[in-house]
Amino acid sequence: MNLGRFISRSARYWSGAPAVADKRGSITYAELDQRSSRLANALLGLGLEPGDRVAMYSLNRTELVEIEVALYKAGLVKAPLNARLSLDEAIHVIEDADPRVLIVGPEHAEQVLDRQRDLPSIEHIVVIGKSGEDHYEGLLFKGASASPDFDLDPEAPAVLHYTSGSSGRLKAAVQTYGNRMALIRKSFMIPESRSKVTEKMAHVGPVTHASGMQIMPVLLNGGCHYLIDQFDIESLLATIEREKITRFFAVPTMIYRLLDAHQGGKYDLSSLNRITYGAAPMAPPRLREAIETFGPIFTQGYGAGETTSTITSLLASDHVRGLADKPELLASCGRAFGESEVMIADDDGNPVASGEPGEILVRGPDVMQGYWRAPDLTAEVLKDGWYHTGDVATVDEEGFFFIIDRKKDMIISGGFNVYPAEVESVLFNHPAISECCVVGVPDKEWGESITALVVPKPGASVSEAELAAFCTARLARFKKPRTFQFTEELPKNPNGKVARRLVREKFWQQQDRKVG
């Protein structure tokens, strides 16, 4: 089934209801259906054919949802760029995706047009918000309002999802139309996670990535998306109050900043019924703090671009149970979700016993086709039908998964294996710490020495000696950081996650070998 047909159906059900909004205004379901059809036909009118790539490079705005629906209707492949990438980074992604059309937001338009010579595959640059028949609104005007409505092969590529992996090598998970259909199915499988007609979901992070995975599920149920172009605490809270936002997705860093801002009581947040966090683990002490501040409305999703979003979910009811009688659940990423098969396996791909550490493997209809034009990378992670996530975890008797760390992030110090996430979880229990990142740095004696970079909470004071004593009481000696460095901010990737690789690289730049 062409996914665009779902939007046409929703337009019949909720014609005049708002489908998408931002600070500039909103469009109804009827308008979304018509405008996306016009754009689909206009792109095909430029000579594009199903399977051709269309790149998007813009901050969050309503047009990004129109574009996504239009590409589904036309059978074209979405190649979204994170708007927070520098122009040079964006050009690198565009060269890899090899699109024929680039749709760019006004904030990037001038720079992109100045560098058009560096984009040989691009036949058309379409600027949002710029007048002229070849730009966004003019292009829409040229297209017919009836959907082209192609029948599409479930194995045909739908999205090139560029990942922010730890290797530093550019790679895009090829999500097929079948993968995207599986995403829709699993979004409806757990009642407490299902969106409603009254839903108004705010997108704080870029809809080109994790947050945008909920675009179609919400639109199928008659809800409204509200797109926020920049993360600002005051603005977000004011928007929740003004727009009566019911849910939003955030990476843990955003939630930590909300908590540290001490804005409780200043805004009416009573409309919120769900805050979903993901893309990185959330420290249990800070999660408890968040639940005390916002209420028992948190859910967690663990997944990846390679698995077309969530493969395990920690429900709101699991969080409540974690507070009441099973505190270890607050450190879990939940249980298998939807149609995904999830297994903990050893290095040979064999399942390990309950409670034993191993790598998370996944298979199912939501697992990507492979990496775009990278058969070597694909072969590394897709084996015998299973996707190897690179995450090390355990699973308990009830099926709850507990991530220990990334395999590649493991520190080997004095012959001992140390997982940074375990050390970070201890540091997060210190009341003065807002964020932290633990890495291995070169050491002639130990191979790698454990170093912790720490961001104190606003107004908090803590010393290196105090943190050392705190860790000594809670960690084995070989796991304790040998040095602590204080900083005002940790480097983040474009999705807002702490970029451990960038932290680590600073210490290893002058080394011939990048391991201890």
User: Rounded mean pLDDT of the chain?
Assistant: 92
SS3 track for 322-385: HHHCCHHHHHCCEEECCCCEEEEECCCCCECCCCCCEEEEEECCCCCCEECCCHHHHHHHEECC
Q: What is the assigned CATH class of domain 4-10+24-152? A: alpha beta
Q: What is the assigned CATH class of domain 200-406? A: alpha beta
Token digits of residue 230 = 């920049």
- Please work out, in degrees rounded to the nearest 5, the angle formed at the alpha carbon of residue 315 by the alpha carbons of 314 and 317: 125
Q: What is the distance between the alpha carbons of residues 351 and 353, in angstroms, rounded to a whole number?
A: 7
Q: What is the distance between the alpha carbons of residues 496 and 489, in angstroms, rounded to a whole number?
A: 12
The predicted pLDDT at position 331 comes to 92
More confident residue, 325 or 196: 325
pLDDT of 185 strictly over 60: yes
56-70, 367-381, 404-418, 432-446: segment of lowest average pLDDT: 404-418
Tokens 């959330």, residue? 282
> Considering only CA atoms, which of 202, 168, 257, 201 is closest in space to residue 496?
257
Torsion angle in degrees (nearest 10) through CA of 84, 86, 89, 95: 90
Q: What is the distance between the alpha carbons of residues 140 and 39, in angstroms, rounded to a whole number?
A: 5
pLDDT of 505 strictly over 60: yes
pLDDT of 409 strictly over 60: yes
> Considering only CA atoms, which of 188, 189, 84 is closest in space to residue 492?
84
Q: What is the distance between the alpha carbons of residues 59 and 227, in angstroms, rounded to a whole number?
A: 9
Name the DSSP letter for residue 231. Answer: -
Name the DSSP letter for residue 205. Answer: S
User: Helices (DSSP H) in 14-115: which residue ranges?
Assistant: 29-45, 62-74, 87-97, 106-114
Q: Once rounded to an integer, what is the mean pLDDT over residues 383-405? A: 94
Torsion angle in degrees (nearest 10) through CA of 193, 19, 493, 431: -50
> Considering only CA atoms, which of 94, 69, 66, 70 is closest in space to residue 80?
94
CATH of domain 410-508: 3.30.300.30
pLDDT of 374 strictly over 80: yes
Asked whether the CA dihedral 126, 308, 212, 93 is positive or negative, the reply is: negative
More confident residue, 370 or 505: 370
pTM: 0.85
Q: What is the distance between the alpha carbons of residues 511 and 78, in angstroms, rounded to a whole number?
A: 39
49-53, 62-66, 253-257, 293-297: segment of lowest average pLDDT: 253-257
Q: Once rounded to an integer, what is the mean pLDDT over residues 462-477? A: 92
Q: Once rounded to an integer, what is the mean pLDDT over residues 123-144? A: 93
Q: Once rounded to an integer, what is the mean pLDDT over residues 173-182? A: 97
Phi, psi (rounded to 5 degrees) for 481? -60, 135
Parse the chain into domains and list their residue ranges: 4-10+24-152, 200-406, 410-508
What is the Cα 246 distance to its own chain's centre? 20
Asked if 4-10+24-152 and 200-406 have one fold, the answer is yes
Name the DSSP letter for residue 76. Answer: P
Q: Once rounded to an integer, what is the mean pLDDT over residues 295-317? A: 95
pLDDT tens-digit map of 313-367: 999 999 999 999 999 999 999 999 989 999 999 999 999 999 999 999 999 999 9
